[in-house]
Structure 1
């Protein structure tokens, strides 16, 4: 059974013949009442302080939990970003390699085409030079024949001159 300070203050005792002195009992009861009341106030204050500390502790624990969750989320996001960056980098490198290979193949094809063109131009040049040499030789022979005919004409003219003189 809980006893309150009011219970102590209102407690009355019966008088007995050889009982205690009423003033001593009342004085002691007053002292107990005051002490009990102080202890109850102190107990209430301690309970309130404990409630405040418990609330603060709960709040701090909740903040700590939130911070831990935030840190774990940030760490996960960081790991995800690193993974995505690594994958993106690998994709970029892969695309660059494919593009470089394509450029190299195009360059090799172009080089082969240019070499074929050069070979064809050399062949045509050689054919042109041979054709020109043949044409020059033909004309040279024609000129030689023509000069030989000039000699024949000179001889015929001289014979005619001779014949004319003889007339």
Structure 2
């Protein structure tokens, strides 16, 4: 292959003019070398294009990966922020409910205390009223209106001891005092039992 140095230092024989044969040989050699260089240049260009395509492919992959990484980072950040907001909302809601429950419990306890005090006061008032009423009733029982005026209690007792004279009531044809009297008169059958006699006596006592 003709080098640039050889090409630069090539000298043709001169007489009347250049030797045609030398010029033709040089041109032929130069043509061959050019063809070889052209082919090599084309192959190198193809390789360069292939390498460029590979580089572009990997660059596109790199960009895709970078975008995916950015999206993943953004999604992770969004998820973390959403979780933080949700946790804060849950905490605030729980705190609000706890505060409301404590407030309602305090109000309920206060209400129960007030009701208890009110009931105790009512009990004390009712007790005082009943005590006053009982005292008034006792005082009224001890008053003159409920006193018995008996001048001579002993004479009254003597009167209750006096026996009244006994008066015998005559028996009629259809009146008997007891079942025994009926037996004595012969009007009652001898087969009357003791229970029946008791029944007659009970009837007689009831009629009196």
Q: Which has the higher contact order (CA 8 A, sep 6+)?
A: 1
Give the C-alpha shift of residue 110 in structure 1: 0.6
Aligned residue for 1:81?
86
Compared CA separation, residues 139 and 48, structure 1 to 2 (3 A): farther
1:96-122 Cα deviation digits (max 9, x unpaired): 222122112111111110000110111
Secondary structure class of the residue paired with 2:147:
helix
- 1:17 counterpart = 2:21: yes
Q: CA deviation at 1:29?
A: 4.0
Give the aligned CA root-mean-square deviation in angstroms: 3.1
Determine if the alignment matches structure 1 residue 62 to structure 2 residue 64.
Answer: no
2:124 pairs, out of 114, 119, 122, with 119
Which structure shows the higher helix fraction? 1
2:93 is the counterpart of 1:110: no
The CA deviation at 1:137 is 2.9
Cα 1:151/1:30, change in 2 over 3 Å: same
* CA distance in structure 2 between the partners assigned to 1:103 and 1:84 by the alignment: 28
Q: For residues 68 and 151 of structure 2, what CA distance do their matches in structure 1 show?
A: 125
- Report which of the two structures shows the higher radius of gyration computed on alpha carbons: 2
Aligned to 1:43: 48
Q: 1:63 to 1:152 in 2, by over 3 A?
A: same
TM-superposed CA distance for 1:63, in Å, is 1.3
Unpaired runs of 5+ residues, structure 1, are 1-14, 158-167
* 1:56 Cα deviation after fit: 1.3
Cα distance, 1:88 vs structure 2:
2.1
Structure 1 equivalent of residue 57 of structure 2: 52
Q: What is the total number of aligned residue pairs between the two structures? A: 140
Structure 2 stretches lacking a partner, 5+ long: 1-18, 160-208
Q: Secondary structure at the match of 1:18?
A: helix
User: 1:127-159 CA deviation, whole Å, 9 max, x = no partner?
Assistant: 22222322333389513x2xx24638759x9xx
Query: Which whole-Å CA distance do the structure 2 matches of 1:34 and 1:125 have between them?
Result: 133
Distance 1:98 1:38 in 2: 88
Is 2:137 aligned against 1:132? Answer: yes
